[in-house]
Amino acid sequence: MGGAHRNTWEHVEGSVGEITELEHQGDTITHEIMARLHRTFVTPFDREDIAQLANVLDDVTDFIHAAADAMLVYKVGRPGQRARELADILVQA
């Protein structure tokens, strides 16, 4: 997600749409990881660890998407400093 959306609050719908698209891309990646795990005999580290990591990362993207949707639905006003700091951390991650 681009920095322009984080610094201005006029493009909420566009930002939520972008987050939705990224969440769908994350779902696709998670499904591909799981499919490859089922096809691969030897993995670089424990199969269960790979699956757990993929699932946890998918959960994170789901939570980010849900929070973005809630901000749109509940017409949350301009985010405070803490919310902007959290958005910066998420973008860096």
Residue 31 tokens read as 């499904």
Say how many domains are in the chain: 1
CATH classification at residue 55: 1.20.58.220
Report how far residue 4's alpha carbon sits from residue 6's, in angstroms, rounded to the nearest whole number. 5
pTM of the entire predicted model: 0.78
DSSP state string for the chain: --HHHHH-STTHHHHHHHHHHHHHHHHHHHHHHHHHHHH-SS-SS-HHHHHHHHHHHHHHHHHHHHHHHHHHHTT--S--HHHHHHHHHHHH-
Mean pLDDT of 72-88: 85
Q: What is the pLDDT of residue 29?
A: 98
Domain range spanning residue 36?
3-92
- pLDDT band with cut points at 50, 70 and 90 for residue 4: very low
Q: Do the beta carbons of residue 65 and residue 12 sit within 8 Å?
A: no
Residue % of the chain over a pLDDT of 70: 89
